[in-house]
Homo-oligomer: A and B are copies of this chain.
Amino acid sequence: MRIGIDLGGTSITGAVVDEQYHILAKKTIPTRRARPSTAIIADMGRLALSLMDQLNLTVQEITCLGIGSPGILDKHGGIVIYSNNFDWHHIDLRGEISQYIARPVFLENDANCAVLGESLAGAARGVQSVVMITLGTGVGGGIILGKQLYSGFNQAANVIGHTTLISGGEVCTCGRRGCFECYASVTALIRIAEQEANHVPDSMLHHYRRQDGELTGKNIFDAAKQGDPCALKVLELYFFYIAEGITNVINVLQPEAVVIGGALSNEGEYLLQPIRQHVRQDVYCKEVALPQISAAQLGGDAGVIGAAFLKEYQ
């Protein structure tokens, strides 16, 4: 039995996971990230203890505790070096949480926890190498090579969202211009759709926007599925951008699998089919087997399952 915790900007999810990757108990609490780090980490510790209580588990029955965290980590030292989400600087996450539960604690980037979860129990089962691209507010990246999590020599790798798609293009939160994230995140989809809706006042997109005050990824897809030409045009461009970034990943890394995560992965083949078509056409080597491209299967559970199994894959 293991405990995995996914620390997010909005909520913290903890789960008890068995050796077959089943979640036996799960609980989500609000992060309230403006609080001091000690208060947040105390809540994470108490979350773990309450999950054990729920299943009547003793501390000896827990193999380890794994934590997926945003930011830049020193995973060997158990430290969050820096997180812009939390404004954390050199927080001893492992040291502090060990006050609550005296078991080995492992720390890893949240995106890497998600790719590990999908590789153990989701879309990338049985695969040696996989790159996960998570489309959300930003674009996250997780990489497994040779069945191990990849982090680079300084543990700061996998920032796939911040590779250039259009150098000199849209201003990115990272300070550069034209990053993949600026074109393939859900934020970007909404920006592109709102611009397009402005130009086409009789479009369904424009109608949704007026009705709801803003567009969402979901209603852009809904409008396209109902045949709205404006939404179809937006998604055609959006799928192309996603495919451009995936083609880049494939040309450089050729992983066995590419997994697309985030809420949009629920769109399944509607999202995947046009992306696969672009990739097949654009990839550099057309004479070899292509990586499989699929949607994440575990949703929010990927992070806690991956976190629970960090012990074996770092």
Contacts and interface: CB of A to CB of B under 8 A. Distances in A.
A166 interface: yes
Contacts of A164: 164-166, 244-245, 247-248
Interface string A273-295: 00000000110110111110000
A254 interface: yes
A155 interface: yes
Interface stretch (A100-108, A168-176, A192-200, A299-307): A168-176
A309 interface: no
A254 B244 CA distance: 21
Interface in A139-158: 141, 143, 145, 150-158
Main secondary structure of the interface of A (DSSP, over half): loop
A129 B153 contact: yes
B284 A254 contact: no
A251 to B, nearest CB: 4
Contact of A176 (B159, B174, B282, B285): B282
Given A166-B166, A282-B175, A129 B152 contact: yes
Interface in A220-257: 241, 244-245, 247-249, 251-256
B247 A157 contact: no
Given A128-B153, A166-B167, A287-B82, A160 B72 contact: no
Given A145-B145, A175-B282, A176-B247, A288 B163 contact: no
A145 to B, nearest CB: 7
A40 interface: no
Contacts of A121: none
A162 interface: yes
A264 interface: no
A183 B168 CA distance: 13
A81 B156 contact: no
Interface residues of A, number: 52
A223 B281 CA distance: 41
A221 to B, nearest CB: 22
Given A153-B254, A176-B247, A254-B156, A168 B166 contact: yes
Contacts of A247: 164, 176
A167 B251 contact: no
A179 to B, nearest CB: 9
Contacts of A255: 152-153
A156 B288 contact: yes
B155 A288 contact: yes
A281 B145 CA distance: 29
B158 A252 contact: yes
Given A72-B287, A152-B253, 20 more contacts: A72-B285, A81-B287, A145-B150, A153-B254, A154-B254, A154-B285, A154-B289, A156-B254, A156-B284, A157-B253, A158-B252, A159-B252, A160-B251, A164-B165, A164-B247, A166-B168, A167-B241, A167-B244, A176-B247, A176-B282
